[in-house]
Amino acid sequence: MGASKLFMFDQRINEVARIAKVLAHPARISILKYISEQDGCICNDLVDEIGLSQATISQHLTVIGNEGLLKGTFTGKKKSYCLNIERFEELQMLLNSFLNKTKSNCC
């Protein structure tokens, strides 16, 4: 019942799914978009921009961060987030590697 039979899938497959999960919520897409547009940004900007509560934004940032997609630096009491481009590209490549392999043969 319920979820989490993840154990039964091989690592590669779980990895692709995990990457996709980060992108699977519009708030996180918005956050990534905004961060990239701002060339570094701040959580509170996101709260204003996206219109979700500070707690919720912070939570989404954690989800994105857990996949290694963010570099955050404190400047004073504010935290500047920006993309970890290397990791970002790595994930994009993993995704595309799966997608390309999948579409290569078909009926």
Partner DNA sequence: TCGTAATATTGCAATATTACGATATTGTGA
Partner DNA sequence: TCACAATATCGTAATATTGCAATATTACGA
Binding residues for its own copies restricted to 7-66, rule: CB under 8 A: 8-9, 13-14, 16-17, 20-30, 32-33, 36-37, 39-40, 50-52
Q: Least distance from C-beta 98 to DNA, angstroms?
A: 17
Number of residues that bind its own copies (CB under 8 A): 46
End-to-end CA distance of the chain: 34
Tokens 């992108």 correspond to 23
Residue 107 contact partner, candidates its own copies, DNA, none, CB within 5 to 8 A by sort of partner: its own copies
What is the rounded distance in angstroms from the CA atom of residue 58 to the CA atom of residue 55?
5
What is the rounded distance in angstroms from the CA atom of residue 10 to the CA atom of residue 90?
19
Binding mask 52-91 toward DNA (x if CB under 7 A, else -) reads xxxxx-xxxxxx--------x-x-xxxx------------
Residue 86 contact partner, candidates its own copies, DNA, none, CB within 5 to 8 A by sort of partner: none
For 65-77, give the DSSP string.
Answer: HHTT-EEEEEETT
